[in-house]
Amino acid sequence: MSDTTITTFDKAVLLETLKDYSFLNEFSLELYCRVNAPEAPVDSAWRLCGAVDRCRIHESVPLSPLDEIMTLTVAGKQPKVMRSPVGLFSFAVPLPACYGSSYCLVGHGVREKRLDLNFLEPLAKIGDIDPFTLLGHLDKLPVATMDEVEDAAEKTHRLLHLLQKEKLQDIFIEKTMSRLNAVVGLCTEIDKATEAEPALSLFLDTITILFDISKVGVALAGLNKEDFPLIRDRSSHVALETAPDSRLESFIPKNSYGKCFVLGDEIEEFFPNSSAEKTKCLPLYADDERLGLVALFDAELQTGEVHLLELLAARVAAKFAQLRVNKELSGAKALSEKLLDMISTMALMEENEVLYHGILEMAAGLVHASCGSLMLVGKNGEDLQVESVLGMNLQLAKSLSLKVGNGIAGRVAASGHPLLVNDIENDTRISTRNRPRFKTKSFLSIPLGFKTSTLGVLNLSDKENGEIFDEGDLEVITRFGRHAAAMLHRANVRERSEILEQLVVTDSLTDLYNRRFLIKRMEEELNRSKRQNGHATFMMIDLDNFKIYNDLCGHVAGDKALKKVGRILKSSVRDMDVVARYGGEEFCVVLPGTAKMESLFVAERIRRTIEKGAFSGEEGLPLGRLTASIGISSFPEDGDSIITIINSADTALYQAKRSGRNRIVIFHDTSDDTSIELSAKIEQQQ
């Protein structure tokens, strides 16, 4: 196996898996690869290619001739333990042949109980560091004996031979799926919370338990600490602080959109006792409002872990925003029993169009208006779009465009102040002729504002009895408008939450469904097929020589190719079919109600379209173009469970690869040697 077979992903998985073992908990682990060939001289250079919980002392102070020791360790294929003059321990362990012949694992970051201070000052000079500062760092290191370090090195050496790369992949997938399932379940629990404290408390428990982060800080805007009794009574590893809105705005990047960011010493403004060198921060960000931040002090996180924490933080922020809306709604004084009924009715309106028309009809009913319109501010903040009307055609009204600041409704949206007009022709603020479609010259126009944002404008005209609108009508509609605006805001929050839920089941690169959703849908289809004695066909599609394509053209081109293949798959099947990215360059298609032989036409359409598609740089591939191999299995012929169906398709795919690629193979029981293979020309072979 060549030295290039251990990928960045393999390194990260290996290091993370090793850190799960208790005898390595106290060690900083670093993975090195040799720059020169194995037969190079003893002084050949090594470079760091992966680390977890890296000891900061070793970043600035060279404590041992590490290059020479690693070279000897790899050459002898046995672990070595080192002790520096000052009393620091390290060990070096060669990686087994399955990872390549030029990799070495180094563990350090522990010390003897008693340090030899005679070597402290010379060591500090080497690293250009104050001796007392260095002593403080050394004092914080875990204490171990030579026997314990030698035991850890021997155990690591044996463990590395047991942890073959394939097993590591299984461990990583199992751990990732376990965490993903836990996070999805926790999102549901957060959604159930009726108060902010249990939602935040559950989030913090998840950080400290599921992600093993020992020290966390929370800064919330407008925080009332009395509302968070459980968090205030926690152990010292969780800090709770108030954060002014203005300071949050300056710290949280404007375009973060809930993404994790890193702070240095400036985090001490929120948490003066943090004493962290680097802090990862998760913004609590909802509806363009910075609600707070969660600080993870000195946390070492993989990219996937960061994404899961971002997902949880977004859910907590959305819950806070929702709870604030609910609190404002519950605190608002009811106009009357009728107004309370209206609010309850609006709360049950799930569809936005129904909510828009419901708000307009309720408002008109409150002041007995026969005409009106509901206009919402566009996402650009510049346009007003009619969403619902009374007394005129909706499509005609939607054809009328209006800018914020222009016209009556546009000026109301820009100013944020309501407008009551008794006579449109004689009111000095308007002074314009009445339009023929209106029966009276009186109207109401109020902004629908939530906090500091104007969401839209509600316009009402033509009282049913022909009278003019008065101050009482304005007060009723203004108070109703506050509730209506809150409902519009809640609808926006709900829409964003639905988008977030969609992200959980969607592959971020191709916009196809991910493996988690695929398994769920396969289970549903198999159960339905069993009940109805029907068929279901499963395709596993793998791009041929895709690793070579990535090496030739780069990962950017590879990502573009995967996206294009995703579009080809979606356009080649029915709306009822399920297309998913299984992982890497593998895709899957589920064809409900389709027998095996019927699926051939779909499979060939997919294979041919990919083969004829233009992919940048594909001429350098072994076949001269980017192609795909397809394995097909069906229910009930090839199994009655998800595992057997997938394994059957995978077996057929392997046959297609082994037979030359760019072909379709239908799985048949190998006991009778009747597998069907289709080449690029769709020729049946034995």
Annotate 445-484 with b (16+ C-beta within 10 A) or e (fewer).
bbbbbbeeebbbbbbbbbbeeeeebeeebbebbebbbebb
- How far apart (Å, rounded) are the C-alpha atoms in residues 105 and 157? 9
- H helices of 61-105, in order, are 66-76
CA distance readout (Å), 260 to 9, 84, 406: 21, 38, 40
- H helices of 459-592, in order, are 471-504, 515-532, 546-553, 555-572
Active site residues: 585
CB within 8 A of 563, min separation 6: which ones? Answer: 509, 510, 511
Instruction: For residue 542, report the phi and psi dihedrals to the nearest 5 degrees.
Output: -130, 130
Are the CB atoms for 96 and 14 separated by under 8 Å?
Answer: no
Among 581, 560, 590, 465, smallest CA distance to 512 is for: 581
- How far apart (Å, rounded) are the C-alpha atoms in residues 485 and 359? 9
- How far apart (Å, rounded) are the C-alpha atoms in residues 120 and 132? 9
Annotate 38-61 with b (16+ C-beta within 10 A) or e (fewer).
eeeeeebebeeebbbbbbebbeeb
Q: Is 546 exposed, middle or buried (0-12, 13-18, 19+ CB in 10 A)?
A: buried
Question: Helix or strand or coil: residue 471?
Answer: helix
* Helix, strand, coil % in the chain, rounded to nearest 5: 45, 20, 30
